[in-house]
Structure 1
């Protein structure tokens, strides 16, 4: 009898071991118009702080359109059709719209520059109602402030240029520059970079020479070419205001806008909630609460730009 029991146990043991499989790791797809390694590395670090270790308890799949924004809808559609996605992180309004068009069921956590209600991603901010939540920057508001700052530091400037790509050339991004600029006595022109590979052509010295000042709006494709853009614009010795502090840290003259690194932490916190079972329809879109005015005084001196003590006193950070 004892022998029979031992044999039965031996037969049952493999079956028991087979049923105790490792829990399935959630797969998160990161969808962006362009690859920015610094942002990807920051996301991984922020996830680790919350206990998510890639390959151990989460799978991360980074997908981008290599700067070709028109390809985002096709890319999103292919990803959704392939299946096995738990959450999509969408970086930019364009990526969020592409993901939302491809699926109305897979949760989407988005980082959008413009109003998600106005762009059709949510019914309202407090209760989005669909499968999209995240962080909404509302760049319309900060863009107006950048134009006002430019009038203050360049009172004689007339011709104002903004630089956009297909990510930011729509009315929600360019419109505020145009409207605020005209009210403050600027003539405004939009320099559209249709192909990031032709950036130097679109922002050639001959073209930039026709303007007195530059105001930039948030644009993830432009951020991927930050160093080149700063070099091209700084060569004009004319003032340019950028949308976030990292531009100033990399040599840009001035920035006003939200700290996108802080915004990324809030985005990852939203992702964490969704992975733990929260529904995007019930998760309010968050708005940045920290806005910084930063000035690179070294760059200003090199460009021969003088700033009033009043402007310098308002700055949250001045790089000497």
Structure 2
């Protein structure tokens, strides 16, 4: 949120003078999103809603079909019902369409480079990310690359420590995480559990690596956020979201934490290190 505030200040929006923010956080509980969205809409005096996840965007769109919504969506906006087409959304939603299945494929490929002799690959999901669009890229790409792929489903975040026990994770040769707002809300705990298991894992965004995870690959969220704020600016100046095409990320980000690699006893290939946008020593 601070990044969005800063970008808006660059465009001349000063909080308390010509813009007011209302922030709502479901704390990783996707079931709470519909009620939060309804509350925002019912309170009124809202000119636009920013939704930072597909579940948040869907909850906001269900709550209002008139207030403009600018979404950072990890799932195809057309397939999920947010837009009629990417080029002309036609409804009250526009934003950045990540298409996480494409970056998930790349994460599986990177894990094969990092762990060339790995056989058993685990992918961790919750009910937010356990659909075919999230799992299919891992299953199909993993099998093509010689992995035996198994989904590890966290149905209830309260059971996370039990389902992701280091002893269970240690039975896998490698782990791939897909974008998931529930898992992100439990980032520190997951990084600790994975670290104790000594299993190499790759995550969808750089904040995981900054907090101690081994690797991440995904869209450059700083660049995506800048585009998101640009869309918000255009809407606040009168543009209709249904006329503004969903944008695709053009920059992608590979982060590596060498401290974590050493703790895991992993020597990363020079070909992977050379492609990294940032290496934490």
TM over 0.5: yes
1:42-121 → structure 2 map (5 Å cutoff): 42-121=3-82
Please, which of 213, 231, 253 is the counterpart of residue 214 of structure 2?
253
Asked if the contact 2:69–2:93 (Cα under 8 Å) also holds between the matched residues in 1, the reply is yes
Structure 1 unaligned residues grouped into runs of 5+:
1-39
CA deviations 1:108-150 (Å, max 9, x no partner) are 1001111111111111111111110001111110100110111
Q: Say which one has the larger Rg.
A: 1
Asked if the contact 1:92–1:167 (Cα under 8 Å) also holds between the matched residues in 2, the reply is no
SS at match of 2:23: strand
CA apart distance, 1:195 = 3.2
Q: Distance in 2 between matches of 1:226 and 1:98?
A: 23
Task: Name the structure 2 match of 1:167.
Answer: 128
> Greater RCO between the two (CA within 8 Å, min separation 6)?
2
CA deviations 1:19-38 (Å, max 9, x no partner) are xxxxxxxxxxxxxxxxxxxx
SS at match of 2:197: coil
Task: Name the structure 1 match of 2:147.
Answer: 186
Structure 2 unaligned residues grouped into runs of 5+:
none
Task: Report the TM-score, using the length of structure 2 for normalisation.
Answer: 0.94
Asked if the contact 1:68–1:195 (Cα under 8 Å) also holds between the matched residues in 2, the reply is no
Q: Distance in 2 between matches of 1:170 and 1:272?
A: 33
Q: Distance in 2 between matches of 1:182 and 1:75?
A: 40
1:234 is the counterpart of 2:195: yes
CA apart distance, 1:311 = 2.1
Moved more, 218-227 or 256-265: 218-227
Task: Name the structure 1 match of 2:178.
Answer: 217
Q: Distance in 1 between matches of 2:115 and 2:166?
A: 20
Q: Say what the alpha-carbon RMSD is for the aligned residues.
A: 1.6
CA apart distance, 1:284 = 1.0
Q: Distance in 2 between matches of 1:207 and 1:124?
A: 42
Asked if the contact 1:67–1:221 (Cα under 8 Å) also holds between the matched residues in 2, the reply is yes
1:286 is the counterpart of 2:242: no
Task: Name the structure 2 match of 1:145.
Answer: 106
CA apart distance, 1:155 = 1.8
Task: Name the structure 2 match of 1:30.
Answer: none
Task: Report the TM-score, using the length of structure 1 for normalisation.
Answer: 0.83
Please, which of 182, 199, 202 is the counterpart of residue 160 of structure 2?
199
SS at match of 2:7: helix
Please, which of 253, 273, 277 is the counterpart of residue 238 of structure 2?
277
Task: Name the structure 2 match of 1:14.
Answer: none
